[in-house]
Structure 1
Amino acid sequence: MNTSSRWLMISVGLGMLLNPLNSSMVAVAIPRLQHAFQLDFTVVAWIIFSFYIASAVSNPVMGKASDLFGRKKIFLAGLVVAFVSSLLAPLSPNFGWLIVFRIVQSVGTSMMLSVGMAIIRIHITEKQATALSVLTIFQSGAAAIGPFIGGLLIHWWGWPAIFFVNIPFVVVSFLLSWRTIPKDEAPTPIARGLSFRKWLDLIDASGILLFTVGLVALFVGLLSAKSSGHVSFMNVIIGLTGLVALGIFVRHELQTKSPFIPLRTFAKYPALTWVNVQFIVVNVLFYALFFGIPSYLQMVRHVSEFHTGILMLSLGLCSLIASPLAGRWIDKSGPRPALLLSAILMTLGSVWIVTWNPTSPVISVCLALAAFGISNGLNSVGMQAALFKSSPKEIIGVASGLFSTSRNLGAILSSLLISIVMGDMFSFGGFRMLGAILSVIALSLVFMSWRRRESGQLEAS
Structure 2
Amino acid sequence: MNARLSRLARSIRPRTGGGSGTGGDPGNAFDRRLLAPMVLGAVLNPVNSSIIAVSLVPIGAAFGAPPSQTAWLVSALYLATAIGQPVVGRLIDLYGPRQLFLAGTALAGTAGIVGALAPSLAVLVVARVLLGFGTCAGYPAAMYLIRSEAKRTGHDSPAGVLTLLAVSTQTIAVIGPTLGGLLIGLGGWRTTLAVNLPLAATGLVLGLTRLPKTPLPPRAERGRVSTRLDPAGMALFAAMLVCLLLFLMNPRTSDGYLLLLTAAAAAGFTVRERRAAEPFIDLRVLGGNLPLLATYGRALLSYVVSYAFLYGYTQWLEQGRGLTATQAGLAQLPLFGTAIAVSALTGRRTEIRGKLLVGAAAQVAACLLLLTLGAGSPVWQLVAVALVVGIPQGLNSLALQNSVYHQADPERMGSSAGLLRTFGYLGAIVASAADGVFFARRADTAGLHHLAWFLVALAVVFLAVTLADRSLSVRGSSVAP
What TM-score do the two structures reach when normalised by structure 1? 0.87
Find the counterpart in structure 2 of residue 78 from structure 1: 104
Residue 243 of structure 2 is aligned to residue 214 of structure 1? yes
Residue 363 of structure 2 is aligned to residue 322 of structure 1? no
- Structure 1 residue 85: deviation in Å? 0.9
- Match of 2:144, as an amino acid? A
1:98-137 aligned at under 5 Å gives the runs 98-119=124-145, 121-122=147-148, 129-137=159-167
1:180-329 aligned at under 5 Å gives the runs 180-189=210-219, 192-194=222-224, 198=227, 201-202=230-231, 204-219=233-248, 222=251, 236=254, 239-256=255-272, 257=276, 262-265=282-285, 267-328=287-348
Distance 1:15 1:393 in 2: 21
Q: 1:64 aligns with which of 90, 95, 100?
A: 90
- Match of 1:419, as an amino acid? G
Is 2:140–2:413's contact at 8 Å kept on the other side of the alignment? no
Distance 1:8 1:392 in 2: 22
CA deviation map 1:27-73 (0-9, x unaligned) = 11111111111112111101111111111111111122234454211
Q: 1:421 aligns with which of 434, 438, 441?
A: 438
Q: Classify the secondary structure of the residue corresponding to 1:218.
A: helix
Q: 1:278 to 1:293 in 2, by over 3 A?
A: same
- Structure 1 residue 326: deviation in Å? 2.7
- Match of 1:140, as an amino acid? Q
Residue 457 of structure 2 is aligned to residue 440 of structure 1? yes
Distance 2:395 2:69 in 1: 33
Identity of aligned residues (%): 27
Q: 1:427 to 1:218 in 2, by over 3 A?
A: same
- Match of 2:364, as an amino acid? T
Q: 1:185 to 1:387 in 2, by over 3 A?
A: closer
Find the counterpart in structure 1 of residue 3 from structure 2: none
Q: 1:59 to 1:188 in 2, by over 3 A?
A: farther
Distance 1:201 1:373 in 2: 40
Is 1:75–1:111's contact at 8 Å kept on the other side of the alignment? yes
Task: Tell me whether 54-63 or 68-77 shows the greater mean CA deviation.
Answer: 68-77
CA deviation map 1:409-435 (0-9, x unaligned) = 111111112112222332221111111
Find the counterpart in structure 2 of residue 340 from structure 1: 357
- Match of 2:207, as an amino acid? S
CA deviation map 1:71-113 (0-9, x unaligned) = 2111111121111111121111211111111111111111233
- Structure 1 residue 397: deviation in Å? 6.0
Find the counterpart in structure 2 of residue 51 from structure 1: 77
Q: Classify the secondary structure of the residue corresponding to 2:217.
A: coil
Is 1:213–1:242's contact at 8 Å kept on the other side of the alignment? no
Distance 2:471 2:195 in 1: 46
- Match of 1:59, as an amino acid? Q
Residue 26 of structure 2 is aligned to residue 9 of structure 1? no
Task: Tell me whether 65-74 or 433-442 shows the greater mean CA deviation.
Answer: 65-74
Q: 2:391 aligns with which of 366, 374, 381?
A: 374
Is 1:207–1:259's contact at 8 Å kept on the other side of the alignment? no
Q: 1:271 to 1:176 in 2, by over 3 A?
A: closer
Q: 1:68 to 1:25 in 2, by over 3 A?
A: same
Q: 1:194 to 1:248 in 2, by over 3 A?
A: same
Q: 1:220 to 1:341 in 2, by over 3 A?
A: closer
Q: 1:335 to 1:428 in 2, by over 3 A?
A: same
Q: 1:49 to 1:389 in 2, by over 3 A?
A: same
Paired residues in the alignment total 444
- Match of 2:306, as an amino acid? F
Is 2:85–2:419's contact at 8 Å kept on the other side of the alignment? no
- Match of 1:245, as an amino acid? L
Task: Tell me whether 33-42 or 415-424 shows the greater mean CA deviation.
Answer: 415-424
Distance 1:47 1:186 in 2: 38
Q: 1:74 to 1:134 in 2, by over 3 A?
A: same
- Structure 1 residue 377: deviation in Å? 1.1
Which structure's residues are more often helix, by fraction? 1
Query: Gaps (5+ residues) in structure 2?
Result: 1-20
Is 1:253–1:260's contact at 8 Å kept on the other side of the alignment? no
Residue 27 of structure 2 is aligned to residue 27 of structure 1? no
Find the counterpart in structure 2 of residue 232 from structure 1: none
- Match of 2:386, as an amino acid? L
Q: 1:275 to 1:70 in 2, by over 3 A?
A: closer
Find the counterpart in structure 2 of residue 229 from structure 1: none
Distance 2:431 2:222 in 1: 42
Is 2:88–2:415's contact at 8 Å kept on the other side of the alignment? no
Residue 200 of structure 2 is aligned to residue 170 of structure 1? yes
Task: Tell me whether 357-366 or 119-128 shows the greater mean CA deviation.
Answer: 119-128
Q: Classify the secondary structure of the residue corresponding to 1:204.
A: helix
Task: Tell me whether 422-431 or 117-126 shows the greater mean CA deviation.
Answer: 117-126
Distance 1:268 1:262 in 2: 10
Q: 1:348 to 1:68 in 2, by over 3 A?
A: closer
Distance 2:238 2:37 in 1: 33
Is 2:50–2:173's contact at 8 Å kept on the other side of the alignment? yes
- Match of 1:187, as an amino acid? P
- Match of 1:146, as an amino acid? G
Q: Classify the secondary structure of the residue corresponding to 2:137.
A: helix
